[in-house]
Amino acid sequence: MSTLRFNVIDEALKRKAVEVSAPADRASDYFGMKVFNEEKMRKYLPKKSYEALMETMQHGKSLSREIADSVASGMKQWAIEMGADHYTHWFQPLTGGTAEKHDAFVEYDGKGGMIEEFSGKLLIQQEPDASSFPSGGIRNTFEARGYSAWDATSPAFIVDTTLCIPTIFIAYTGEALDYKVPLLRSLQAVNKAAVEVCRYFDASVSKVNSYLGWEQEYFLVDEGLYAARPDMVLTGRTLLGHESAKNQQLEDHYFGTIPTRVMAFMKDLEYECWKLGIPVKTRHNEVAPNQFELAPIYEETNLANDHNLLVMLIMKKVARRHCFRVILHEKPFKGINGSGKHNNWSLGTDTGVNLLSPGKTPKDNLQFVAFLVNIMMAVYKRNGLLKASIASATNAHRLGANEAPPAIISIFLGRQISAVLDKLAASTKDEAIVFDEKSGLKMGGIAHIPELLIDNTDRNRTSPFAFTGNRFEFRAVGSSDNCGGAMTILNTAVADQLVEFKAEVDALMAKGETKEQAIFSVVKEYIKASAPIRFDGNGYTEEWKAEAAQRGLDCETSVPEIVGQYIAPSNTDMFVRMGVLSSKELHARAEVKWETYTKKIQIEARVLGDLVMNHILPVASRYQSQLLDKVFKVKALFGEAQYQKIAAQDLALIEKMACHMEKLQTLTEQMVDARKVANKIENERQKAIIYHNTVAEAFDAIRYHADKLEEVVDNEMWPLPKYRELLFVR
Ligand code: ADP
Ligand code: MG
């Protein structure tokens, strides 16, 4: 009898919603209370330090040691008043997630006692013992030094009793070992390139920011049920499990009423987020049972990304208080939707213009079209690389499966924008470049794009990169990803494209064309050149796969192969040109991605093997033996002549089970053998490819037979919580 499974179901059913109340009536009263934000800087820092720090935050000026000491002292005072007793440099290693090593504020005071100490030196830079973080070969173990250094553009905050200082993480030799360094570099690159292009339209623009609004999807599973699933505990997903008779087919979960226990969790999570200055705004049920979403108001990309990483961390903590586990895996359950993290992205100027929003005047519209078309070119040229930015062993279950996103990157523009671009591309030069002081610029006879934009809700859920009225939505990012990976590639690709655009426009102007004429010519040329990336149809169809291949888009589906994009010469050149990643750093990143891929599949393979051998087969045998026992008794009672007829069903079932059990055992042994072969390969790329082609390849067939057994084995004996319990008991 499977008592554990029934016990955890019982416990789960007894749990009540844990109500937690907000620190104050209104969110605005406690928003940011745990953040060393501008308000606290003004309060806790001398004027001179405050001003210097603002300069650093806004214009990237470096901080002197003296100012750093003063900032550290103010920060420490605030943190101690808030009850903090430790501090940590909080960084984003290539393993994913975040890392932290806590140190207490205490130091000897030299008189036999202790004082609370936190110097500018400790604020600015630290040397965590970093030898265990992946570096892709950048750091030799004998030179395992890595430094974390304060990113003053993202404010410090307090979690529990620890002051967390957002930092970058670099090797002793200066190479990036994290997600933040390249992200910051890419933001600089896109700022520089975009400002130059903006100045064609408005000389007063001096900064362009990249904005990110992420939509975090997640599952909640009762902690008891979760604990009884070794696959969920060790791999974050279910490797086995027959589909529940009811799952998402009735579409009754999406935007449905939020269950009480979940609502209590969500409120608690929101309180925590608001205290940490994370502007979360939207919460709702997602498509799959027990799947939910949380989205904030968008922010500058670096801060938004820090906030997303923090949210993933806080979610896990808060879930524990409510006896839930948060599942951030991209595909925790077979047969229902997985989780992603749509990255809503845009560029905006310090003059308050969203460059992806059609403007009021024809001049604004030309600027809008110029940026739109450059982004299309960038995504077109780097479609394979963008896919690499979101490719992982876990996200691979969504890529290419029939749910967003398809494994081919394409852009959805919507009917109206498409029509505008097509008209522009087809317009004759004379039509297109009339510049009339009164009515402004006539874009091929369509001067007023805003009036055309009635239908922003024109949406295509199958598109991995969709224009949604005033931003692009990169939907292929995985739910557990650090958005920094995708955002670095996108911003770098756009920066590189804008630099090229400017060079082309300048060259035409040098030949005597007016600025408008020149911009128009290049824009028209880009609309035509980037046409293959535009796709408004259903991205899930087989026809699209065939057509995309014909259009020359990247259709690779094997994650280890996709990762190779990082070191493809044209991509390496771009990263180097934009100063975002060096060739050495790129090779290291690809190595880490291959290594991580292999390890994840290796762990899954081991867990699957153990589950089959220790959980499924023994229980199936026991049930089969009960049936056999019965057949023997039937035979004893009814005799040779009749027993076969009387026990016909049992005999058929015994045989059916024997067949699945035999297959299950053989396939599992073959997978273990394949793993042993793959483990001997030294080259990380090759190893990952073989893991993909032989080990991961075997999972589905193994699962098939295990799930078939689940269908027939006595429910009372089945040891693992079933899908219908994991997804519906709460
Ligand atoms: P959906 O309808 O796609 O589910 P939401 O309305 O929930 O989307 O918003 C998605 C996210 O897009 C939010 O985080 C929102 O702040 C963000 N967003 C809105 N406008 C922009 C923009 N201009 N740039 C970046 N993100 C934006
Ligand atoms: Mg969205």
Instruction: Give the pLDDT band of residue 245 (cuts 50, 70, 90).
Output: confident
Residue 16 is assigned to a structural domain of this protein: no
Q: Residues 217, 70: one domain?
A: no
Cβ of 213 less than 6 Å from ligand 1:
yes
Residue 4 is assigned to a structural domain of this protein: no
Residue 12 is assigned to a structural domain of this protein: no
In angstroms, the CA 344 to CA 471 distance is 6
**What was the pLDDT predicted at 379?**
98
Q: Which residues pair with 299 in a beta bridge?
A: 212
| Average pLDDT of the segment spanning 254-274 | 91
Q: Residues 198, 302: one domain?
A: yes
Residue to substitute in 286, 292, 344, 353 for testing ligand 1 pocket (most ligand atoms within 8 angstroms of CB): 344
* Whether 488 contacts 183, CB under 8 Å: yes
* Whether 263 contacts 17, CB under 8 Å: yes
In angstroms, the CA 333 to CA 719 distance is 18
pLDDT above 70: residue 442: no
In angstroms, the CA 386 to CA 389 distance is 5
In angstroms, the CA 211 to CA 214 distance is 10
Q: Which uninterrupted H or E stretch holds 157?
A: strand 157-159
Structure tokens at 564: 């190779």
| Average pLDDT of the segment spanning 370-379 | 98
In angstroms, the CA 590 to CA 601 distance is 17
Residues 6+ positions from 217 with CB-CB distance below 8 Å: 286, 291, 292, 293, 339, 340, 341, 479
pLDDT above 60: residue 648: yes
SS3 293: strand
| Average pLDDT of the segment spanning 415-437 | 71
In angstroms, the CA 200 to CA 715 distance is 70
pLDDT above 90: residue 691: yes
**What was the pLDDT predicted at 688?**
98
Asked which of 581, 606, 641 is the last residue of a domain, the reply is 581
Could you read off the pLDDT of 328-364 as tens digits, one per residue? 999 999 999 999 999 999 999 999 999 999 877 767 7
Q: Residues 538, 491: one domain?
A: yes
Q: Residues 576, 635: one domain?
A: no
More confident residue, 567 or 449: 567
**What was the pLDDT predicted at 441?**
46
Structure tokens at 690: 């073989």
Could you read off the pLDDT of 697-726 as tens digits, one per residue? 999 999 999 999 999 999 999 999 999 999
Residues 6+ positions from 559 with CB-CB distance below 8 Å: 391, 392, 393, 396, 399, 597, 688, 692
Instruction: Give the pLDDT band of residue 433 (cuts 50, 70, 90).
Output: very low
Cβ of 297 less than 6 Å from ligand 1:
yes
Q: Residues 276, 138: one domain?
A: no
| Average pLDDT of the segment spanning 221-245 | 96
Find the angle CA(48)-CA(52)-CA(56) to the nearest 5 degrees: 170
Instruction: Give the pLDDT band of residue 109 (cuts 50, 70, 90).
Output: confident
Q: Residues 271, 302: one domain?
A: yes
Q: Residues 238, 382: one domain?
A: yes
Low-confidence winner among 126-140, 226-240, 277-291 (lowest mean pLDDT): 126-140
Residue 23 is assigned to a structural domain of this protein: no
Amino acid found at 231: D
Q: How far is the CA of 384 from the centre of ligand 1 (A)?
A: 25
**What was the pLDDT predicted at 135?**
76
- Phi, psi (rounded to 5 degrees) for 335: 85, -10
Q: Residues 170, 223: one domain?
A: no
pLDDT above 90: residue 412: yes
Residue 14 is assigned to a structural domain of this protein: no
Say which CATH number the domain at 41 has. 3.10.20.70
Residue to substitute in 190, 215, 462 for testing ligand 1 pocket (most ligand atoms within 8 angstroms of CB): 215
Q: Residues 166, 207: one domain?
A: no
Q: What is the number of the ligand 1 atom nearest to the C-alpha of 346?
A: 24
Q: Residues 395, 489: one domain?
A: yes
Residue to substitute in 297, 298, 300, 372 for testing ligand 1 pocket (most ligand atoms within 8 angstroms of CB): 298
DSSP string, 204-228: T---EEEEEEEEEEEEEEEHHHHHT
Q: How far is the CA of 708 from the centre of ligand 1 (A)?
A: 42
pLDDT above 60: residue 443: no
DSSP string, 372-415: HHHHHHHHHHTHHHHHHHH--TTGGGTTTTTSS--SS--EE--H
Could you read off the pLDDT of 460-505 as tens digits, one per residue? 778 899 998 899 999 999 999 999 999 999 999 999 999 999 999 9
How many CB atoms are located within 10 Å of the residue 379 CB? 25
Asked which of 537, 553, 581 is the last residue of a domain, the reply is 581
Q: Residues 474, 494: one domain?
A: yes
Say which CATH number the domain at 697 has. 1.20.120.1560
Instruction: Give the pLDDT band of residue 452 (cuts 50, 70, 90).
Output: very low
Task: Look at ligand 1, atom 14, and give the residue with the nearest C-alpha.
Answer: 213
**What was the pLDDT predicted at 404?**
58
Helices 515-529, 362-381: crossing angle, 10 deg rounding: 40
pLDDT above 60: residue 31: yes
Could you read off the pLDDT of 284-326 as tens digits, one per residue? 888 889 999 999 999 999 999 999 999 999 999 999 999 999 9
Q: Residues 192, 173: one domain?
A: no
Cβ of 295 less than 6 Å from ligand 1:
yes
Residue 8 is assigned to a structural domain of this protein: no
Structure tokens at 349: 């100027």
In angstroms, the CA 193 to CA 577 distance is 12
Asked which of 581, 616, 638 is the last residue of a domain, the reply is 581
Say which CATH number the domain at 282 has. 3.30.590.10
Residue 431 is assigned to a structural domain of this protein: yes
Is omega for the bond preceding 464 within 30 degrees of 0, making it cis?
no
Residue 312 is assigned to a structural domain of this protein: yes
- Structural domains of the chain, count: 3
Structure tokens at 311: 């949210």
Cβ of 189 less than 6 Å from ligand 1:
no
**What was the pLDDT predicted at 140?**
57
| Share above pLDDT 90 across residues of the chain, in percent, rounded to a whole number | 75
More confident residue, 310 or 129: 310
Could you read off the pLDDT of 517-526 as tens digits, one per residue? 899 999 999 9
Domain span at 132:
31-178
Amino acid found at 261: R
Read off the DSSP letter of residue 469: S
Provide the mean pLDDT of the chain: 91
**What was the pLDDT predicted at 405?**
63
